[in-house]
Chains A and B, each alone.
Chain A
């Protein structure tokens, strides 16, 4: 069953002087429960594609369908926010934790936006942090954590809302190999045990080979 379907996606960045085509006629389908790696050299449009899938960016042309539902550019901000909150989870290369909130508060945020009670969100945050092995760091600030720990917090934040799709942009890019492996283990566990669909942008051939499928990009085009 297809959970993500991209049809004829183009993305063109325009400035006064220059026009850059970041993506050209991308057609991609991701099945439910699939772990897809997107690979390609720097600047080939991987992250742009991930942002478009995650509704963080809009395509110049083309359509996006998720769970059979067409994601329309005319969708209201509230509807888009709700969709991101309930269906998608993001894990970024540079973690993107909120520096002024501690670990448990960072993790709770998606549930707070969803209107879940404080008590329930705290319990669920503790549970996901225990799952990623950070139950002893609940009240630490992001600045007090290692890169690997920050990424695990980011994963906890991404999965607390039990989204169907997790989008990760080079999740191990800023980590050493040991920490990188730990993070990959968590992602595989989420994919295999929880049935999460994962789309991961990576430069790491070895990590990509561990996933169920690899989509390769070059100069904004999908080459295989």
Chain B
């Protein structure tokens, strides 16, 4: 038995993605930059994918740039904007949240070390952005604002549209970047309405393949590339396109995109069912982040007080259930989740936090089974750990 509840870390590729690959990657081996027909065939398919992605977020198709994934998209969006503009904008003022993904925080550290000024908006105990505090910062002047749509550890949804409008009210030339890795194809986002200048997307979080990402860029002249080469991707991102990854993303989008509001509701029901079940059967469990409307249905973060989360994680794993403690990207380090720390949760809660993340294909049976196994492990682990 295998129950995979770590879909915020990565997802299993869809059958139709693999089928598409088999069909297209063999025949479509041409280099889109080649002048002959073989290259053109590939180019057409990539263009088709670009259109589909653009339609999904209400952007223009030639503002879609393919990258190697969410991390690269985030780096390109932030560092690319900085290197292009730091000479003309002084002081160079950036604002973000302490709860962002490491690829945002480390990129900010990097531009900070190159002379930018970086400030962090407060978040409340649920990880929601403090709009009053944001407005205060905006009044002082902000050139670059980066906020993720959905937090990868807690699932908290930030009010992107409100934030975008507020930002542009104070400074219409400001640059608004949104990390949409956890929300793309799951929670609607309209780049025009939210006044987004740059949006990061990753394929493997929506049942596509690893190694493929997208950066939507409303104005490519606002960023410098991170590396240099040919004229691919409008020279924003040189290098031969990752064709299999791109058609994989397109295939996943085709399947998930068309019914995502129904998926949203289904997954939300399952999450509520799962959570209520746990809270009923297991004592001393607290919810990190928001369980209701402002939380993504795809992510649930719970603390099983008194149980070290990594031990619970491996115990569940020994029964074929895969979850995450904090963010999978930091699972290799034993330090505490920076997200939960930024939310000012106490150490006991952080040390016992487990993230469950769902997919449209998660079943009620799997959730029932998980609650049962959880209950047993939590009970027996508490007997040892709370001794």
- The answer to whether A binds B is no
Chain A residues near B (Cβ < 8 Å): none
